[in-house]
Structure 1
Amino acid sequence: MPDFLLVAGLSLAAAVVVMTVTALVAARVGRVSVVDTAWGIALLVVALACAAFSGTWQSWVLVVLVGVWAGRLSSHIFTRSRSHGEDPRYLAVLGGPLPEVGMGVAVRRVFLVQGAAVWLVSLPLQAAAVAGLDWSWAVWLGVAVWVVGVVVEAVGDAQLAAYKRDPDRGPVMDRGLWSWSRHPNYFGDACLWWGIWLAGGLASGWLAGLASLLSPVAMTVWLVWITGARLLERTMMKRPGYPEYAARTSMFVPLPPKRPGAVP
């Protein structure tokens, strides 16, 4: 129990430090969407803190997995959003632009919530640091699932970027992986975190696996129903051709597209 409390405290402190710095940056630039770039960085800092505490090869493998994901995610979001204003999602959460509502509202509604989410998602990292390794096979199974997730997410993002550059593109992206899933990038991200849970939580034993299971479950719920696919679908359904695309294409898990006239 003392080790768990210490690791939980270290992880929470790491999340607080990163979110505090991010809040200061947000106040300077006038938009809270910079927190999306900091999300991956915060989890990497937590992974490093857990590995420094335990010193095991399992925890350092997790640092690599989180680090590759965080580097790719943060650079992708930074590149995509640096020339844009505030994300509409955060305008809705805040109730208006940051300069109007003030940093107090932003801290309560965004940065505290994001910091708590970082701590929750990092539970497999904490479990590995405290419980140690029971099943090495689960580490390598987790790495394999993580690789699948990274490849699906990266290929999906690359195909979407190519579509946006194509002057002859249609109104709806339905090429490559996007013909099998309406949100392959979100599916890849979910796979990635199930892989980290396998390598960190389950590999440390049944008790650690159960205690940290909320992490990949929460990530999947957020990606599908809260901050990801469902939220984006509300806007996309207004685009010409998208309802027809949605009728033949799986929303999340990649599946062969339905034939025209097939029963849903």
Structure 2
Amino acid sequence: MGGSNTSHSNLKNAVLAFLVPLPSILFYLTFLYHYQDDDPNLLSPVWKWCYNHPILLANIFFFFNVNVLFWLIGLIQSSHWMIDPYWTVIPVLLVHYYANHPLAVENKYNVWRSRIVTCLTWVWSIRLSHNYFRRENWQWGVREDWRFTDMKHQYGKCWWWVSFFAVYLSQQVFLMGICMPMYVIHLENKQLDILDFVGIAICLSGIAIAYFADTQLHDFVSRNKKLKELGKPVVPNLDKGLWQYSRHPNYFGEQLWWWGLVILAWNLGYGWTFVGSLINSLCLAYVTVLVEKRMLKQDYRAEAYQLYQKTTSVWIPWFRSPLIGKSKNT
């Protein structure tokens, strides 16, 4: 019976996850349909407003379709799991939204830039979605982010309304901010140049580094799980592969991806778009502190992780400190 209930819950959450973005998608497709049939000057006030305010419209979609709807679903299910898989989906939706908006500049240079960024976003999304579901044993909604669970215990009875701001409204600031380069690349008519290819190379490097780092982490966790099942001592810390050069190479790769997009936008004259990635990087720095504190609370790995902290770079990959060779216990 337990397996049957789990399968039913998994199917229900999967169907729910596919249905939740439909209100925004259908509204946007309706807008595009009306725009194709009518002159922009003859559009009704509602469609004319959608035409003139693409950024505000995207934020309204996010507020009602993600913040409000996801929050209500999270309250009903007592789990705010859905924002995690949708972190990988929303940028894909946004890049297609910006690319198909009537105000997007259409020329051969911009078409290529748009296609490249759209393809890169899909690759990034597939990579991150694969890692999410691999970590969750290919199930939907099994658990929420451990940080949300910690905050739930911290805020107690107030969590039901605090969660709206901590889980959802904050995500709107981060996601809409870091995705701004996806908007501005559709505004300018400029031939692709060397700086564009530098940005593309950085994006691809970030995706590759994050993939290999997360795969190495997954293999490490899987091996430890098997050792534990066999009653054997587990390995306290991952310090092989990319993890011997950085304590958080997956975070580093993720940041490279977003900063690569910033370079593409900067090359078009929209350097201010770096603000979104900067805020996201500062937030991830805070998350890094939380993750490392969590590691140090686990007795079996605390000593090894303390040495790891002293000898290994936090984010940017670099050679280990000579201290690593002075301990036979590491």
Which ranges in structure 2 are unaligned for 5 or more consecutive residues? 1-48, 228-232, 326-330
C-alpha distance 10-140 of structure 1, shift in aligned 2 (>3 A): farther
Identity fraction in percent = 22
Match of 2:188 among 102, 115, 131: 131
Match of 1:202 among 256, 266, 284: 266
Structure 1 counterpart of 2:307: 244
Are 1:260 and 2:323 matched, yes or no? yes
User: In the aligned structure 2, how far is the partner of 1:27 from the partner of 1:79?
Assistant: 26
Are 1:165 and 2:186 matched, yes or no? no
Q: List aligned pairs for 1:161-200, cutoff 5 A.
A: 161-166=218-223, 167=227, 169-199=234-264
Match of 1:39 among 78, 82, 87: 87
Residue by residue over 1:8-51, the C-alpha shift from the partner in whole angstroms, topping out at 9 and shown as x without a partner, is 22331343334444334423432113212111211211111111
Residue by residue over 1:121-165, the C-alpha shift from the partner in whole angstroms, topping out at 9 and shown as x without a partner, is 111112212334365332221110011111111111111111122
Name the TM-score, length of structure 2 as normaliser: 0.68
SS of the residue corresponding to residue 100 of structure 2 reads: helix
Higher CA-based Rg: 2
Root mean square deviation of aligned Cα: 2.8
Q: Is the 8 A contact 2:151 2:159 kept in 1?
A: no
Q: Is the 8 A contact 1:10 1:49 kept in 2?
A: no
Structure 1 counterpart of 2:54: 7
SS of the residue corresponding to residue 131 of structure 1 reads: coil
C-alpha distance 195-3 of structure 1, shift in aligned 2 (>3 A): farther
Structure 2 counterpart of 1:26: 74
Structure 1 counterpart of 2:283: 222
Question: Cα offset for 1:65?
Answer: 1.7
User: In the aligned structure 1, how far is the partner of 2:196 from the partner of 2:133?
Assistant: 31
Select the structure with the greater relative contact order (CA < 8 A; seq sep ≥ 6). Answer: 1
Instruction: Give the letter aligned to residue 131 of structure 2.
Output: H
Match of 1:154 among 188, 206, 211: 211
Which ranges in structure 1 are unaligned for 5 or more consecutive residues? none
Are 1:111 and 2:168 matched, yes or no? yes
Instruction: Give the letter aligned to residue 15 of structure 1.
Output: F
Residue by residue over 1:195-238, the C-alpha shift from the partner in whole angstroms, topping out at 9 and shown as x without a partner, is 11122x12312xx1x22111222222222x223x2221111234
Length, aligned pairs only: 254
Question: Cα offset for 1:88?
Answer: 3.1
C-alpha distance 108-165 of structure 1, shift in aligned 2 (>3 A): closer
Q: Is the 8 A contact 2:80 2:148 kept in 1?
A: yes
SS of the residue corresponding to residue 170 of structure 1 reads: coil
